[in-house]
Chain A
């Protein structure tokens, strides 16, 4: 009997502590998953509060937060201000990432090959079929290009990465805009689809004469040959943390309503043009206010202490000015 009582008492204690330190739940984009889980782990060690993030995809994350089944949703594609108003939600960019075009060509070093958005669009449209095409040679007069067919590799699964890539192509290549457009899944004119960033990275590294697009971290980890890109200002830029941050710093965050900024093709001499932010979505008046407050605490902590962890994983922290603005938004919009 005593034994039973102990168990019941222990159970009650466990239940009360877990109710006290409410675990925050979030769901959405797969792209920031490694970052959010690293943050959550460090946060748990520091505060004892856990965070459960399910990387189920941006679209599914939006649906979950709209249905109020999670404390926050995460999406690589910002919601339009009118949609946010309708759902009574706010959004803000939590971190940034960048995409790089990667190739598998004999004798070509990383950063040696130069692309423009228009050229990448034509390759992905299937209009440019061989590596020694005059259009590629024109941008790369010093590089010896093989006369082999280009194997185009792209994502097969709907993804925020694909949204950033196709959005960039739409902004820089008029024909791409009308034929394929921007979206998490589009009508691909050519190429083979591989699953996930790791799928594209693996396929490009195995296939000679192929081209693909992956997040910077995957290109770095898999030692893939990335290309340089000509940005909106007409300058050739290499994919570096500085170039990614320049794109974010040059974006008009202040003028944008509800942080509705798509970071591709931003102005500025140093800006890397294929950059994207990943967004957090929350209700202004959440049903579970305690959990909502906990989540804000976590994101505040991440802004303050998470930068180094983000950089270790090749994500780009939000610039200081943007963080200040976001913190103002929190205190103004979130009802406690």
Chain B
């Protein structure tokens, strides 16, 4: 006993100092490692932007700002005449339609899963949603090309065309002829593809609502709809919008599936049943066989998508901040 305490006494202060300095070293190392990780994101992002700008430079010099509002895309002309309006239009329209479909459906699934669904059904539906996220995009593309496209062209499109025939505005948006490959078909595929992002994240954030809040609302006689509308959604607004943003980012940049089913036409047509193209589909289609100014133009399209996504996400953040302010948080 005596010997042991002697040893401890002798070792005590020395070990304490050593242990403390070891902790400190560990802490500093940890601090710098995490910091390096965080900074590396900025470096990688900067590197991507820089290489895009360098690659796009010949096209920027040749076409200037007119690239943004020129529609003609003639890579085989001498010199090539390139304008981004067609793909930019297609990107925005397909993403918009996709989100219009995916947001209500995705939120609907999430509400059902967390609030209404009987326990035994929860797992199968949840699993199905997760599986939807795991399907490679080329599979969506092939399915869209062989199954969904023909189905829409033979049933849904003729129906919509006949319903809105002669109606101003809507008549030109839903104009024929029906097509297997179209902006609308691509939007629908996109909607299915982004659905799991919205649903999975919404389910996770809906679960964070403290039960006591919901119970209190039910206690004063609220219906399920009122609880969802006035308690769950306001409480989880930031998380839900985060999920939607993630989905929108995916929709803006999705390439393979869209390339298969959009019809790849650079002409802007008023009908959403007409073929169109998106920025990423245009790049994926033409990059391998391009060179010179044509390739530079495609890289400029890539830069444009980068900027476009940035602005859309920034606008969403801004909107979110406004909402927060209004809610008084």
Give A residues with C-beta under 8 Å from B: 56-60, 62-63, 149, 151, 156-160, 166, 180-188, 191-195, 199, 202-203, 206-207
| Stretch from B39-47, B74-82, B203-211 contacting the other chain | B74-82
Inter-chain CA distance A187–B77, complex, in Å, is 8
Q: How large is the interface on B (under 10, 10 to 19, 20 to 34, 35 or more residues)?
A: 20 to 34
Query: Please, which residues of chain A bring their CB within 8 A of the CB of B275?
Result: 191-193
- Asked if B76 contacts A195 (CB within 8 A), the reply is no
Cβ–Cβ contact B288 & A57, under 8 A: yes
Do A184 and B180 touch across chains, with their CB atoms under 8 A apart? Answer: no
Within 8 Å CB of B78, what residues of A?
181
Are B181 and A187 in touch, CB under 8 angstroms? no
Cβ of B285 under 8 Å from chain A: yes
Binding-face segment, B51-59, B95-103, B256-264, B304-312: B256-264
* Residues 245 to 270 of chain B near chain A (Cβ within 8 Å): 259-260, 263-266
Q: Are B288 and A56 in contact, with the CB atoms below 8 A?
A: yes
Q: B residues within 8 A CB of A183?
A: 75-76
CB pair B265 A193 closer than 8 Å: yes
Which listed residue, A56, A149, A187, touches B73 by the CB 8 Å rule?
A: A187
Which residue of chain A has the shortest Cβ distance to B78 in the bound complex?
A181
Closest to B284 in A: A157
CA distance A202 to B147 in the complex (A): 11
A180:B285 contact, CB within 8 angstroms: no
Known contacts A59-B289, A187-B75, A194-B264; 17 further A-B pairs (Cβ under 8 A): A151-B179, A156-B259, A156-B277, A156-B285, A157-B288, A158-B285, A181-B77, A185-B289, A186-B76, A187-B72, A187-B266, A191-B265, A192-B180, A192-B181, A192-B264, A193-B264, A193-B277
With both chains docked as a complex, state the minimum distance between the C-beta of B87 and any C-beta of chain A, in angstroms.
12
How far apart are the CA atoms of A241 and B145 in the complex, in Å? 32
**Which residue of B is nearest A61, CB measured?**
B288
Minimum distance in angstroms from B84 CB to a CB of chain A:
14
A156 to B78, CA, bound (A): 20
26 A/B residue pairs, CB under 8 Å, sorted by A: A58-B289, A59-B291, A62-B291, A151-B177, A156-B281, A157-B285, A158-B75, A158-B285, A158-B289, A159-B289, A180-B74, A184-B76, A184-B289, A184-B290, A185-B76, A185-B285, A185-B289, A186-B76, A187-B72, A187-B74, A191-B265, A192-B263, A193-B263, A194-B263, A195-B264, A206-B150
Nearest CB on B from A131, distance (A): 14
Q: Compute how far the CA of A188 lies from the CA of B281 in the bound complex, rounded to whole angstroms.
A: 16
The answer to whether residues A193 and B72 also contact, given A181-B77, A185-B290, A206-B180 and a CB cut-off of 8 A, is: no
Q: A186-B76, A187-B74, A187-B76 are in contact. Are A158 and B260 (CB under 8 A)?
A: no
Which of B76, B181, B277, B281 has most A Cβ within 10 Å?
A: B76
Q: Is the CB of B75 within 8 A of A186?
A: yes
Contacts of A160 in B (CB 8 A): 289
Bound complex: CA of A160 vs CA of B81, how far in Å? 21
Contact residues in A for B76 (Cβ distance below 8 Å):
166, 180-187
B177, B264, B289: which contacts A57 (Cβ < 8 A)?
Answer: B289
List A contacts of B77 (CB < 8 A): 181, 187
Most buried by A among B177, B181, B277: B181
- Check if B27 is an interface residue, CB within 8 A of chain A: no
CB of A259, distance to nearest CB on chain B (Å) = 21
Residue-by-residue, is B278-315 near A (CB-CB < 8 Å gives 1, otherwise 0)? 00010011111111001000000000000000000000
| Residue among B77, B260, B264, B281 with the highest chain A CB neighbour number at 10 A | B264
Instruction: List, in ascending order, chain B residues with CB within 8 A of A166's CB.
Output: 76
Contacts of B179 in A (CB 8 A): 151, 192
With a CB–CB cut-off of 8 A, which chain A residues contact B284?
Answer: 157
**Do A185 and B286 touch across chains, with their CB atoms under 8 A apart?**
yes
- Say if the beta carbon of B32 comes within 8 Å of chain A: no
Q: Which residues of B contact A63 (CB under 8 A)?
A: 291
Given contacts A185-B294, A192-B181, A195-B259, contact A60 B288 (CB under 8 A): yes
Min CB–CB distance B260 → chain A (angstroms): 6
Q: How far is the CA of A156 from the CA of B266 in the complex (A)?
A: 10
Bound CA–CA A58/B286 (angstroms) = 12
Report chain A residues within 8 Å CB of B264.
156, 192-195
Assess whether A158 is in contact with B177, with CB atoms less than 8 Å apart: no
- B145 near A202 (CB under 8 angstroms)? yes
B74 touching A186 by the CB < 8 A rule? yes
Q: What are the residues of chain A within 8 A of B287 when measuring CB–CB? A: 158
Chain A CB within 8 A of B218 CB: no
Name B180's contact: one of A156, A158, A207 (CB within 8 Å).
A207
Q: Which residues of A contact B290 (CB under 8 A)?
A: 59, 158, 184-185
Partner of B288, one of A158, A188, A203, A207: A158
Tell me whether A157 and B286 are in contact in the complex, defined as CB-CB below 8 angstroms, given that A149-B177, A185-B75, A187-B73 are known contacts. yes
When C-beta atoms are compared, the residue in chain A nearest to B150 turns out to be A206
Chain A residues with CB under 8 Å of B181's CB are 192-194, 203
Do the beta carbons of B288 and A59 come within 8 Å of each other?
yes
When distances are taken between beta carbons in the complex, the residues of chain B under 8 Å from A62 are 291
Report A-chain residues with C-beta under 8 Å of the C-beta of B63.
Answer: none
